[in-house]
Amino acid sequence: MVAKLKLVADDPGTNTVYLIRGWEEHVRTAGSLGENTIVQYRRALVRFFADTLVPFTELDEPHIQAWIAAQDGRGGSVTQVLKALHSLFKLAHRRGHVAADPTRYFEIKRAKNAPVEDIPRPKLEELFVAASGIDPRARPAMELMYATGARITSLISVFPGDVNRTADWLHFRVAKNFDHYGVPLGDRGRRSSAELEELLHYVPNRGARQPTLVGVRQQRVRDWMKAAGREVGLAWIHPHALRHCFGTEMASKVHSDADLRSWCALMNHKDASQFTRYAKKRDPSLRAMVEGL
């Protein structure tokens, strides 16, 4: 008789699956990581333990170093695994499952925020026009992202009921750190969201429709943007560029502390630490300050 594989050890604290599940429950409850990051980290952890086949109670620095050496220069992948391991073992050490964190001496490279290229308004309008010929939902989806400064994960999670026509308000149920928020709809936001509502029953020839306002998953929006970008000479375009355009235009209207707080609310930022990424260095007010010298 073949013995059945025992997935849960007598001491659950020594079981890798138990540990990962406990870590996932902890960071989700604490809100310390976004849902997409949790999923990516979980996959990274499963991959690491599948590659090494070392129980986490026996894992040490040489094991991790050997795994890194075998990755053949895949820097981004290694960094994500190290971040995931550090998050996992930080909790495991605090709960007494391990005597020490084996990742504590590994330097985790923090990705610098890459500058996003400014898109002149005429070029932006060309991009939207090009999107019209790709899919009926492509242009209004991209315009709504631009009109509200939405992150791609927030946009694709909007349901028809999240659009409040009475208040001209759009509610985002998915955002960083589970921080739900909303933004007012201007002319472009009202128009693009109304166009998407008219297309709620539109079903493409290929693929199923999602029950959301846009009706597609994240990758489809990225594909729309890439296709439209190639047509107008913006091959590098990606969803965050539209959010950056929104944030930059809103930053140009900040002239007081109250304006800055409003900017943070529109961008769904907890503080103003990211403001300098969006404030234009060529702001005319800077030139005015030095003209009298």
Q: How far is CA 92 from the centre of its chain?
A: 26
Q: Residue 196's pLDDT is what?
A: 97
Give the C-alpha separation, 159 to 171, whole Å: 9
- Between 268 and 11, where is the model more confident? 268
Q: Are 153 and 174 in contact (CB under 8 A)?
A: yes
Average the pLDDT over 53-60 and give the result. Answer: 87
Give the C-alpha separation, 124 to 197, whole Å: 23
Q: Are 192 and 147 in contact (CB under 8 A)?
A: yes
Q: Above 70 in pLDDT, residue 57? A: yes
Region of 121 (left: φ > 0; alpha: ψ -120 to 50; beta: rest) is alpha
Q: Residue 13's pLDDT is what?
A: 46
Give the C-alpha separation, 28 to 132, whole Å: 38
Q: Above 70 in pLDDT, residue 282? A: no
Contacts (Cβ under 8 Å, ≥6 apart) of 277: 113, 115, 247
Question: Which secondary structure element, helix H or strand E, spans residue 219, and what is its range?
Answer: helix 218-231
Average of per-residue pLDDT values in the chain: 85
What's the pLDDT tens digit per position in 13-22? Answer: 458 888 899 8
Which two three-digit tokens encode residue 260? 């800055």
- CA torsion sign for 172, 36, 28, 30 is negative
Identity at 251, one-letter amino acid code: A
The reported pTM is: 0.65
What's the pLDDT tens digit per position in 118-131? Answer: 788 999 999 999 99
Question: Quick one: which of 83, 95, 28 has its CA closest to 57?
Answer: 95
Q: Above 70 in pLDDT, residue 5? A: no
What's the pLDDT tens digit per position in 168-186? Answer: 999 998 887 657 899 999 9
Q: Residue 112's pLDDT is what?
A: 53
> Cα angle vertex 279, ends 275, 284, to 5°?
150
Q: Are 57 and 14 in contact (CB under 8 A)?
A: yes
Please report, rounded to a whole number, the percentage of residues in the chain having pLDDT higher than 70.
Answer: 85
Q: Are 91 and 22 in contact (CB under 8 A)?
A: yes
